[in-house]
Amino acid sequence: MKNFETLDVRPLSPALGAEIVGIDLKENLNDAVMASLREALGSYGVIFFRDQDLTPEAHIALAKRFAPIDINRFFKPVDGYPMIAEVRKEPDQKRNIGGVWHTDHSYDEAPAMGSVLLAREVPDVGGDTLFASMGLAYEMLSEGLKQTLSGLKAWHSSRHAFGHGGTTAELQREGRIQNPDLATQDAAHPVVISHPQTHRKTLYVNPGFTRRFDGWTEAESKPLLDFLYAHATRPEFTCRFRWQEGSIAIWDNRATWHFAMNDYAGQRRLMHRITLEGEPLH
């Protein structure tokens, strides 16, 4: 599955992630190039590009080549472009957006397929994003734990994160997160999914949105979930991307987690994110 004849692909780590060099994403890419990009995304979980000069219109057009756009309910949109969510931290703000391991929109019945994140303004140093491979995390579990997880479902929710008084309350007060009344999503997904495209078995719980196993209490669920979270973020399952202005990351939300570092106090970071529609998971 790694025959990318039309691309210059440079892996970032053995676990996941690859930088693709020598491609201009604002061009009208032909079907062969798009097929190779989709194949690379399936193989590496997240793909990166440097020095991309995209207008908002070009950003939207690129995203639509991968999947229909899933408009985020909670992020402040870019003015005039409701399909693009703004991920912003001003120099005087203490908390960033995305500073916990998570995968986007897992609280939806049909979770997001992917995300297309474009760096508009980045700090001199810091503000990197970490990614983790949930396929590799699953494969490195013991056979006994794999059997325990087989057939289990887990509940994911937006309520505790984006609702009134939730974990993003500070971001809501600052206007970076909005619409707490819309945080009504609850969805149960298999703890281990078969990835819709690659069919790789993949761990599908995350610290940001998973609440408990189906049929278990939150207290009963916590020890096993905590173990899975610690296991899934082992360094050998991860890669780290240093942003530059014009960098783009496209990741598969069914195959990866991500974590935005908050280590650039006193500097501004502005990213534009488009989320891609997915499908129910099995």
Q: Is 231 a catalytic residue?
A: no
The H-or-E segment that residue 131 falls in is strand 129-133
Q: pLDDT tens-digit profile of 85-95? A: 999 999 999 99
**Chain segment 65-74, per-residue pLDDT in tens:** 999 999 999 9
CA 261 to CA 200: how far, in whole Å? 28
Q: Length of the chain, please?
A: 282
Token code pair at residue 222: 């916590």
- The per-residue pLDDT for range 178-232, each reduced to its tens digit, is 999 999 999 999 999 999 999 999 999 999 999 999 999 999 999 999 999 999 9
Record the tokens describing residue 53, joined without a space: 């000069």
> What DSSP line would sit under 182-224, residue for residue?
G---EEEEESEEE-TTT--EEE---TTTEEEETTS-HHHHHHH
> What CATH architecture is 70-243+251-276?
4-Layer Sandwich (3.60)
Distance CA 27, CA 199 (A): 31
pLDDT for residue 6: 75
Active site residue 10: no
Helix (H) or strand (E) holding 81: strand 81-89
Residue identified by tokens 């079907």 is 31
Are 134 and 255 in contact by the 8 Å Cβ rule? The answer is: yes
Helix, strand or coil, per DSSP, at residue 82: strand
Q: Where are the domains of the chain?
A: 70-243+251-276
Q: Tell me the per-residue pLDDT of 74-128, one tens digit each, with 9 for 90 and over.
A: 999 999 999 999 999 999 999 999 999 999 999 999 999 999 999 999 999 999 9
Catalytic site residue 104?
yes
List the beta bridge partners of residue 266: none
Annotated catalytic residue: which of 70, 104, 108, 252?
Answer: 104
258 counts as catalytic: yes
